[in-house]
Amino acid sequence: MKSTATLLISCPDQRGLVAKIANFIYANGGNIIHADQHTDAAAGLFLTRIEWQLEGFNLPKDLIEPAFNAIGQPLGATWELHFSDTVPRIAIWVSKQDHCLFDLIWRQRAQEFIAEIPIIISNHPDLQGVAEQFGIEYHHIPITKHNKLEQELKQLELLKKYQIDLVVLAKYMQIVSANFIKKFPQIINIHHSFLPAFIGANPYHRAFERGVKIIGATAHYATADLDAGPIIEQDVVRVSHRDEVDDLVRKGKDLERVVLARAVRLHLQNRVLVYGNRTVVFE
């Protein structure tokens, strides 16, 4: 697979945007392999994702950003530039359940997404063995009401030390503080319900109590307002009166694995553009 550059751009809607952006790439000899756009008419916003091959592109990687600045700034655009040959680094945070952890590691090994997973962080020691099995460092950082502030500082230090780009809360079962998220905003969480149904704790028990016929899982970016962040992906599965809470948990695990993995993959391929509390997913 050849190296590519990807621009994710948001700007006020106006004539000529597609032409201007495409011209920038064409004028520099780039070959576009993916271009998709979306206009949010109500918000007056134009959102686009463009990916092109670096081979044959006249600008060296470090000059692309300043060069595009000359086009983007007059348009009032905000943008991100990513290169496919920069391998992102993930920290997986877990509690006691291993299904999402196992799944993410398996997918990374199977190259379903391209990333490194140098560390696993947990508030419990339970999954140390899984980390060892796959040769990943395991950091046990127990959290109590009293030590949360200082433990979050330790977590932030680890993310810095290991140059982590993305935190994946793979059933971490703890609230990350608003302050933490401010300092490290790239966090994907999996919630075990079809949000906004059953926000908060014990969604499977509450789904059972309510007698729903379908349960779901939701992968979203973590925000200070718990379970209210921009949704990346959701999926559902049928349940019936024959399903006890344990069956909901079991069926839900399959959902959680798949939904979280899809969200992580989409994020790592720079296919998710957040604006307001919404996402555009350029599939």
Residues interacting with a second copy, by CB under 8 A? 15-20, 22-23, 25-27, 29-41, 98-99, 102, 106, 110, 112, 133, 194-198, 210-214, 216, 230-236, 238, 240-242, 244, 250, 254, 258, 277-281, 283
Q: How many helices (H) and strands (E) does the chain have?
A: 8, 13
**At 114, which amino acid appears?**
I
For the question of residue 227 being annotated catalytic, the response is yes
**At 122, which amino acid appears?**
S
Cα–Cα distance, 164 to 248 (Å, whole number): 34
For β-strands 214-221 and 278-281, DSSP reports them as unpaired
Q: How far is CA 8 from CA 105, 139, 273, in A?
A: 27, 34, 7
User: In terms of CB distance, is 155 or 193 closer to a second copy?
Assistant: 193
User: In terms of CB distance, is 80 or 244 closer to a second copy?
Assistant: 244
Give first-to-last CA distance, the chain, whole Å: 18
* Least distance CB 231 / a second copy (angstroms): 5
**At 186, which amino acid appears?**
Q
CA atoms within 13 A on the CB side of 157: 8
Contact residues for 182 (Cβ-Cβ < 8 A; gap 6+):
224
User: In terms of CB distance, is 165 or 233 closer to a second copy?
Assistant: 233
Beta bridge mates, 46: 11, 39
Q: What is the DSSP letter of 229?
A: S
The CB density around residue 181, as the number of other CB atoms within 10 Å, is 18
User: In terms of CB distance, is 152 or 257 closer to a second copy?
Assistant: 257
User: In terms of CB distance, is 99 or 139 closer to a second copy?
Assistant: 99
Distance of CA 99 to the CA centre of its chain: 18
The CB density around residue 61, as the number of other CB atoms within 10 Å, is 14
* Least distance CB 38 / a second copy (angstroms): 6
- Choose the catalytic residue: 103, 165, 227, 243: 227
The residues annotated with a catalytic role in the active site are: 227
